[in-house]
Chains A and B, each alone.
Chain A
Amino acid sequence: MHALWRLAAVGAAAICGIVSAAGIEDGEKRSGFDFMTPETQALQADEMSNPGMLWVLQGEQLWQQAEGRADVACAGCHDDASQTMRGVAARYPAFDAATGRPIDLAGRINSCRAERQQAEPLAPESDALLALTAYVAHQSRGMPITPGTDARLAPFRDNGRRLFQSRIGQLQLSCASCHDDNWGKRLGGSVIPQAHPTGYPLYRLEWQTVGSLQRRLRNCMIGVRAEPFAFGAPELVDLELHLTERASGLLVETPAVRP
């Protein structure tokens, strides 16, 4: 992995002399799915062979399980997820009045766990949190991403855009250097996708497990040898917010599979 990124870095430094100008034209917007081999696409498309479904299944079980001092299950308040959670993931991150900030889907689930169930919050990237998030997001599979319209989100979304366009790390590359200016080209063995957050949490073959969008973003930061933001950092949520706006109209794929 490290060797691949090192090799990639040389290539990237060479192609990214150009400063990013515009984003991606609407007609050119494509999910990471479109850049995958037919074999990996087939793995995602077949619910019986998509390993991400193992987490969805676990999430379905956890949804029914009473937890915390309130001794109540998610289902106790939200009932049938296929009704109550349909479309929710498609409009997250959303504004959270309690903290006065945007919150992503995993953050919202953990806040329900802490506030409503009165249980210990789940650790970032724990199987249980990924499973619940995958289960909730799966209820929106096939629905278009519709970024939240709450006006209070605007400054955070702007900050996300700024972060996306800022050069970082020893390689001095921005997210846009790769994902706006050079998508479709190859970096080492991988095709550079447009960075649309359509399938999270998703099963990444390289990880051999399901991971969150934040894990993916941290990977990209480490790739350019920058200090990644910590899991749950507000900057990551702002970036997620910007990515959701860029991906507006693409369909939710959770649980996707990626190389």
Chain B
Amino acid sequence: MARALVNVPKTARQGEVVEIKAMIAHPMETGYRIGPNGSNIPRDIIRRFACTYNGEEVFSADLHPAVSANPFIAFTLVATTSGTIDFTWTDDAGKIQTASAMITVN
């Protein structure tokens, strides 16, 4: 069960610049912290975030251990055609979480 919140405007005018927001629940464990038993808490972070618009990648970001837990990413897109905006978050173990939203362009 992905715990992610994405915000995409439901409708937009052709050519309009729209703001997209995406947030996911994730501990972003740096690997540098020491646990109660004295050994390092293993690193567990989201490594890559990507956004596709009707299948084409339009935004991506590499994330690093200094990023806070539950990373929040906001960016802009030019609304071209109606369709689906998909979001993927890939963690250290290669596990992928996804979310998606529809946009209607007129």
Contacts and interface: CB of A to CB of B under 8 A. Distances in A.
Interface stretch (A52-60, A72-80, A161-169, A191-199): A52-60
Interface residues of A, number: 11
B69 A53 contact: no
Nearest to A127: B25
A82 interface: no
Given A54-B5, A57-B5, A209 B21 contact: no
A237 B86 CA distance: 44
A236 B84 CA distance: 48
A104 to B, nearest CB: 24
14 contacts: A48-B7, A51-B70, A51-B72, A53-B23, A54-B4, A54-B25, A55-B25, A58-B1, A58-B25, A208-B27, A208-B28, A208-B68, A208-B69, A209-B69
A48 B5 CA distance: 7
A54 B23 contact: yes
B1 A54 contact: no
A57 B3 contact: yes
A190 interface: no
Nearest to B25: A54
B24 A54 contact: yes
A61 interface: yes
Interface size class of B (residues with CB under 8 A): 10 to 19
Interface in B16-46: 21, 23-25, 27-28
A49 interface: yes
A65 to B, nearest CB: 9
Contacts of B1: 58, 61
Contacts of A208: 27-28, 68-70
B3 A49 contact: no
A51 B23 contact: yes
A54 B7 CA distance: 13
Contacts of B25: 51, 54-55, 58
Nearest to A43: B72
